[in-house]
A and B are shown apart, each in its own frame.
Chain A
Amino acid sequence: MSTTSTVLDSGIRELARNRWMLAYATGFFVLTESLFWFQGTGPQVLLSLLNVLLLVIPLVSLVFGAMYIYSSREFIELLLAQPIARRDLFLGHFMGLALPLAGAFAVGAGLPFALHAGAGAGFGGVAVLLSAGIGLSVACAAIAVAIALYSDDRLRGVGMAIGAWLLLTVLYDAGLLAIAVSFDAWPLEKPMIALMMANPVDIARGLVLTQLDAPAMMGYTGALFRRSFGSALGTVIAATALAIWIAAPFAIAGRRFRRRDF
């Protein structure tokens, strides 16, 4: 096995037995299952799930991700003393965090849909919601790793992760709302859609909205929105933007990992 897959394998083994991770997956399972219980229909469950995952995935991926990097630091030093390249070690270490995070969500939230055969939620809606959640998990994990590798102070790093969470989930949208309210004489849809593409949480939300809130999103604003997120080209652009949100922090963190002193 290559260095990357060996380290990835141990990361998955470690996190698959981590109780926080198990609680995270179980939490999504219980939540989704109880949503089916109380709300019944698949589309309703998807919407309620969206509300939760937009907050919880960034929170867990950022904060747990940063803490995981800090807690595995001595172990990484031991691995670095082995005859392996840092690049490979970093890739394995990152994926060993990101894949369990994404997998815990996908399995926890996805399993009830499989058990209920969708319950009226179209395959497309479920697939987009799960994909968006997975993409968001990996993007936030990458941001967390970058934060943890740049800040040696654990407390400060976790604080920054929480700050990033607030910024991405609430403050950024507050800025968008301020723009929408302040400049309403201007044609704002296009700039606002562009700004949404610059925030992974908004990208994930946008991708899911086109599937789940189609009626609301067919108004004038929504028509542009659907073209941006819902059309084939728009989906590709939004997915690319999310991929950049994975690749950029990953590259920044990787560069730091290759160059820094441990």
Chain B
Amino acid sequence: MISFHEIRKAYGDRRVLEGVSLDVAPGRVTALVGPNGSGKTTLMKILLGLARADAGEVKVNGTPLDATGSYRNAIGYMPQAAAFPEHLKVRELVELVSALRAGAARDTDLVESFGLGSEWERPVGKLSGGTRQKVNAAIAFLFRPSILIMDEPTAGLDPVAAGVLRTRVRRERDDGRLVIVTSHVLSELEDLADDVAFLCDGLLRFTGSMGQLLSQTETSRMEDAIVTLMRASANGTAARATPGMAAAQ
């Protein structure tokens, strides 16, 4: 369980998050959606400790974030850009992250599913964008994290690999893990997400299950639902299915 409480964040004059409260439940895939600059990435960075909130509190499994970062033992992160040092070999990269997580269990299923074994000794800079994204995903899943945070996970992946990844995400969810995904490809999220949190202009405009999203917006596709929500937020009316997603279950 992750709970954000009244998170505020501004970069200079630009207010990115203006009091966001959100509970994310385990055993579900939560889609974090919103237009560019809506604060999705900032919210995730605050959770990861990459950025600090100006106000508000984040709790992971009931414990507030601490400076040592040990709570991140539970988190697997797949950043949007798989920008690794180009001369490191895949093996060295995996070893590097493993060394930073000494003692953690290792799960190389995804390495095998993606067929990364043959790329093991190649420098990252020589890999194709898609292969690099596979490495990126493999590293996020490497330590059996109970929380997975994935920023545009399928960008650059071929359809087969994207399918492998989606299957894997579902399996994690079924094992009771907490998954947060952002993507521009809403059709993909529709297939994957159980819950939706819609951020716009620094405010949560919708939180609820996928079914609630569709029924409340009277649409049949997520894309149409989001468009409806954006129109609504432009008119200043926040849509909120229920007070929180946990209650939505």
Within 8 Å by CB, do A and B touch in the complex?
Answer: yes
* Interface residues in chain A, defined as those with a beta carbon under 8 Å from any beta carbon in chain B: 1, 3, 6-7, 9-11, 13-18, 72-75, 77-86, 261-262
Taking a contact as CB atoms under 8 Å apart, the answer to whether A77 and B70 are in contact is: no
Q: In the assembled complex, which residues on chain A have CB atoms less than 8 Å from the CB atom of B49?
A: 80-81
Residues of chain A within 8 A (CB-CB) of B67 are 85
Alpha-carbon distance between A82 and B74 when the two chains are bound, in angstroms: 9
Instruction: Flag the segment in B23-31, B82-90, B187-195 that touches A.
Output: B82-90
**Distance in Å: Cβ of A102 to nearest Cβ of chain B:** 19
* A103 vs chain B, min Cβ distance (A): 16
B interface, CB within 8 angstroms of A = 11, 45, 48-52, 67-73, 75, 77, 79, 81, 83-88, 92-93, 96-97, 99-102, 123, 139, 149
Candidates A10, A15, A77, A83; contact of B79 at CB < 8 Å: A77
Contact partners of B81 in chain A: CB under 8 A: 74
A-B contact pairs, 6 of them (CB 8 A): A6-B99, A10-B88, A72-B85, A78-B79, A82-B100, A83-B69
Which residues of the partner chain B approach A74 to less than 8 Å between Cβ atoms?
Answer: 79, 81, 83
CB-CB nearest 4 A-B residue pairs: A74-B83, A261-B51, A17-B87, A81-B77
Q: B70 contacts which chain A residues (CB < 8 A)?
A: 83
Which residues from chain A contact B48 at a C-beta distance below 8 Å?
80-81
Partner of A6, one of B50, B71, B73, B100: B100
Alpha-carbon gap, A189 to B77, bound state (A): 59
Nearest CB in chain B to that of A73: its residue: B83
* Contact assessment for A262 and B88 in the assembled complex, using a CB-CB cutoff below 8 Å: no
Q: A80, B50: Cβ atoms under 8 Å?
A: yes
**Contacts A3-B100, A13-B92, A262-B45: A83 and B85 contacting too (C-beta < 8 A)?**
no
The distance in angstroms between the C-alpha atoms of A77 and B51, with both chains bound, is: 10
B61 to chain A, nearest CB (A): 14
Nearest chain B residue, comparing its CB with the CB of A96: B85
CB neighbours of A11 from chain B (8 A): 85
Question: A16-B87, A81-B50, A83-B101 are known contacts; what are 16 more A-B pairs with Cβ within 8 Å?
Answer: A3-B100, A6-B100, A10-B96, A13-B87, A18-B87, A72-B85, A75-B84, A78-B79, A79-B97, A80-B48, A80-B49, A83-B75, A84-B100, A85-B68, A85-B69, A261-B11
Contact across chains for B99 and A1 when beta carbons are under 8 A apart: yes
With a 10 A CB-CB cut-off, give which of B11, B51, B100 has the most chain A CB atoms: B100
Given known pairs A6-B99, A13-B88, A80-B48, the reply for A75 and B83 (CB within 8 Å) is: yes
A74 to B11, CA, bound (A): 19
Report whether B85 and A79 are in contact in the complex, using a CB–CB cutoff of 8 Å.
no
